[in-house]
Structure 1
Amino acid sequence: MNLKVRLAVMNFLEFAAWGAYLTCMGVYLGNLGMGAHIGGYFAMQGIVSIFMPALMGIVADRWIPAQRLLGLCHLLAGIFMLASAWYGHVNGTESKYFVLFSLYSVSVAFYMPTLALTNSVAYNALTKAGMDTVKAFPPIRIFGTIGFICTMWFVDLTGFNQTEYQFVTSGVVSLALFLYSFTLPKCEVNKSEGKKSFSDALGLQAFSLFKRKEMAIFFIFSALLGASLQITNGFATPYIQHFETMAEYAGSFGVEHATILYSISQISETFCILLIPFFMKRYGIKQVMLIAMFAWVLRFGFLGLGNPGAGIWLFILSMIIYGMAFDFFNISGSLYVDKATDPTMRSSAQGLFILMTNGIGATVGSVAAQQVVNVFTHQETMNGAIYTIGNWGATWSAFSVYALIVGVLFALIFHPKKEMK
């Protein structure tokens, strides 16, 4: 099978496992009466990303080939995600927060490192084949977004987005990727001999990147922008569905199929990914990151101004803008880190990038976002369903102002010495 096709299938399955629940888990948790804990679930993805991607990156660089470790992580992630689904199915609204949260936490602890490991496997294989990763990787990565969209639509059209079956879908896909990992291109581990320092032996040399001012600033702002990553994933669909409590919006397409409406964001990603090679080479990492930061300002702002009726065009604009907000930050940042680091620490460096973005950034962002949401909204039970209602407009405005401040500071402080060509 063609190398690019093999890597495309890997990316498809990688993100299909995530797309099954990431944007609709808030709805399911709300149905269980755990709406006040949505931020905690998304924060856990960040908490485990603080140490697990870096740890697994070290293991992949030193002891276990990245493609093999990728499979093992998905095996464990899939098993515990299925266990979460089983517990929720058996206990329903009587489910204990601590038990469900614990099972889910173990699953994401093994899933989150795979985001960096798939990048490492792809970059390693493309480099060995003599290809330019900046040109070759984005068209491959686009299939990850397609996989994400496919499972989003699947759980929406089947009604799984309201139930624990979204976790079942994710678990099954993870197990499929575990099996598929045996067909992936082989990655080498660094078996260089000679006397090593303690940090070298553990593969911690990736953290030495912080000694370089340019990289330190880049990673710090990656964390600050990473705080925005999970906000709409956690709260956009509960926000859209709260319009069901208003007679003028009840029964509208946006309310009835909030997950499909939200999937426009991922559809936008598929097009924006293809723009990355041009933008990276024409404008450089700073300008591309700035585009992402100001796209987040509009992403949040349009959500707050829109509605599922006459204002649905603002929702759609918000979803379209997400493509640049996410891709121009996440994928361009990953490519920048790959180009700026030595190949011997490729997996460790990618793990460090995930640590700063999906780890520290997303953890702080999810916890803070939950507090903001709690200040401006509250939960109410109507017609047997639980909704989060209140001043959502002020909530989205607060998020938009935050993204604006980060963007302005980045423009003033980050000055890369050499842009990627």
Structure 2
Amino acid sequence: MNVKFRLTLMSFLQFFVWGAWLITIANYWFGTKHWDGTQFGAIFATMGFASLFMPTLTGIIADKWINAERLYALLHILYAGVLFYLPQVESPNAFFWVMLVAMCFYMPTISLSNSISYTTLKSTNLDVVKDFPPIRVWGTVGFIAAMWITNLTGNKASANQFYIAGISAFLLGIYALSLPKCKPSKLISEKASLMQTLGLEAFKLFANYKMALFFIFSMFLGGALQLTNAYGDVYLDEFKHFPKYAESFVVQYSTIIMSISQVSETLFILAIPFFLKRFGIKKVMIIAMMAWVFRFGLFAYGDPAGNLWMIVLSCVVYGMAFDFFNISGSLFVETSTTAKTRSSAQGLFMMMTNGFGAVFGSLVSGWMIDKYFTKAFTDVQSTSLFVGSEPTNTHLLKYIKEQGVSILNNGTFDKTIYMKDWHHIWLSFTVYALVITVLFALLFKHKHTRAEQQAIEAINH
């Protein structure tokens, strides 16, 4: 079988097993389990916690002791096992710990899949620069395919999303055992210090004001990514409580609408060389940050009817927000560090965005939404006012029933029900992104360098 095809299949499944639940888990959490928002924020933080140490540890193991493809296979099989167990968990606290274990198995496989691809391409005398991007883009296709399957099979709020991901992860684990062997390189010196071995020497870069500022802003922007991953789909799904939107395409296929974001990613990657050549790295970073402002602002004012274009455009600008900062940021690190610290610095960049940033964004947003943007209702009339309909509408009654609430004879509920104020949630995120953008533009002093120009020219070619 063709090597590039085998790696393409691996890349497709690598992100399929994540996309099957990542965007839709909020529907399961809030719509099926009715657990609170603070705890949900902690669930998304598990990805950040796992990203802080697991990729480094598994990288060391693959470099020194175990074939990368075997370690990769083992991690996916273990990840599958945890996913199969997740639907049995009935406590939000227990769910957090089980999900943390799942993420400790899954998150390092992202870097391992890249490593396997690089090693295999090089060993077969293929061009990594030319041949890897077309392979990697199928990962995004896999993520989109998983989202569509979860939605179209009616499982965006059910435990079946974890079974879809689990079965696929198990099959990927078995398949990975057939991949070309990637033996340990043993490049890590036995005399290397613990700091060197773990790649922590890159933290010395914080002594440089500009690098420290860049990494700090990377963390804050990394937090923004978690907000739409965590809440985007459930936000669209909750329009079903409004009668005039309940039967709309957006409500029925909210996950498919959200997948426009991933499609946009693949398209904006093609535009990066033009923007970098035209504007330079700093301005492209600022463009990415402004895209986050529009991402949240458009969500704040969008709806499935007259303002559907806002929801669609929000998904489109996501590609610019995500790709432009990741690529330009990576180029900034590449051209601002020495060969000795470059790899560690790139790892630190990912750690600040996907590690510390993810933890910060998930925990703070969960707490903030629960404390300031969740409305409590104790009677039918107040709730019907919120959804803009008569107290007898079937959508409201269905929602009340889903919450496990009974209506007493005097029109009050036997227990309080909660609804989220999505308009102000997205507005607060908009302000957050705008503040970051303005501060970055004012504080981050950077001039286009010759090294950056050469790197940009390399991308263009």
**TM-score range for the pair, normalised by the shorter chain length:** 0.7 to 0.9
2:446 to 411, 415, 420: 415
User: 2:241 maps to what in 1?
Assistant: 245
What's the counterpart of residue 351 of structure 2? 355
Deviation at 1:68, TM superposition (A): 3.8
Is 1:405 aligned with 2:422? no
Greater Cα shift, 235-244 or 149-158: 235-244
Q: Given the alignment of the two structures, is residue 98 of structure 1 paired with residue 93 of structure 2, yes or no?
A: yes
TM-score under structure 1 normalisation?
A: 0.87
Partner of 1:91: none
The aligned residue for residue 174 of structure 2 is: 179
Partner of 1:29: 29
Match of 2:127 among 119, 124, 131: 131
Equivalent in the alignment of 2:423: 393
Structure 1 vs Structure 2 CA RMSD: 3.0
1:61 to partner: Cα distance: 4.2
CA distance in 1, matches of 2:156, 2:137: 23
Q: 1:155 to 1:319 in 2, by over 3 A?
A: same
Question: Any unmatched runs of 5+ in structure 1?
Answer: 89-94
Q: Structure 1 residue 164: deviation in Å?
A: 0.8
Question: 2:228 — aligned with what?
Answer: 232
Give the 3-state SS of the residue equivalent to 1:229 in structure 2: helix
CA distance in 1, matches of 2:355, 2:194: 25
Query: What is the rounded CA distance, in whole Å, between the counterparts of 2:58 and 2:336 in structure 1?
Result: 20
Equivalent position SS for 1:382: helix
In 1, the alpha carbon distance for the partners of 2:367 and 2:188 equals: 48
Distance 1:80 1:223, change over 3 A: same
8 Å CA contact retained: 1:57, 1:347:
no
The amino acid of 1:400's aligned partner reads: T
- Taking structure 1 as reference, are residues 369 and 184 closer, same or farther at Cα in structure 2, changes over 3 Å only? farther
* Contact 1:262–1:319 under 8 Å retained in 2: yes
Name the % identity.
44
Contact 2:65–2:184 (CA under 8 A) maintained in structure 1: no
Following superposition, the deviation at residue 59 of structure 1 comes to 3.5
- In structure 2, C-alpha distance between the alignment counterparts of 1:132 and 1:414, rounded to whole Å: 34
Match of 1:7 in 2: 7
Return the structure number with greater relative CO, CA threshold 8 A, min gap 6. Answer: 1
Whichever residue aligns with residue 49 of structure 1, its letter is S
CA distance in 2, matches of 1:59, 1:340: 29
Return 5+ residue gaps in structure 2 as ranges.
378-397, 404-416, 457-461
Hey, what does 1:222 align to over in structure 2?
218
- The 1:287–1:2 alpha-carbon spacing in structure 2 relative to 1, beyond 3 Å, is farther
Q: Which residue of the partner structure matches residue 118 of structure 1?
A: 113
Partner SS, residue 419 of structure 2: strand
1:46 aligns with 2:57: no
Q: Tell me, yes or no, if the aligned pair for 2:375 and 2:420 is still in contact at 8 Å.
A: yes
Matched, 1:268 2:264: yes
- The separation in 2 between residues aligned to 1:201 and 1:81, in whole angstroms, is 31
Asked if 1:55 is matched to 2:57, the reply is yes
Shift, 1:5, TM fit: 3.3
Cα offset, 1:173, TM superposition: 2.0
- When structure 1 is superposed on structure 2, of 403-412 and 161-170 the one drifting more is 403-412
In structure 1, C-alpha distance between the alignment counterparts of 2:346 and 2:361, rounded to whole Å:
21
Deviation at 1:283, TM superposition (A): 4.4
- What SS is found at the alignment partner of 2:224? coil
CA contact (8 A) 2:21 2:165 kept: yes
Per the TM alignment, residue 322 of structure 1 is displaced from its structure 2 partner at its CA by 0.9
Change in 2 beyond 3 A, CA 1:156/1:64: same
- Structure 1 CA distance, aligned partners of 2:269 and 2:197? 36
Q: Which is further off, 27-36 or 287-296? A: 287-296
Size of the aligned set, in residue pairs, is: 413
Say if 1:287 and 1:188 are closer, same or farther in 2 by CA, change over 3 A.
farther
Aligned equivalents of 2:189, 2:243: Cα separation in 1:
71
In structure 2, distance between residues paired with 1:196 and 1:8: 35
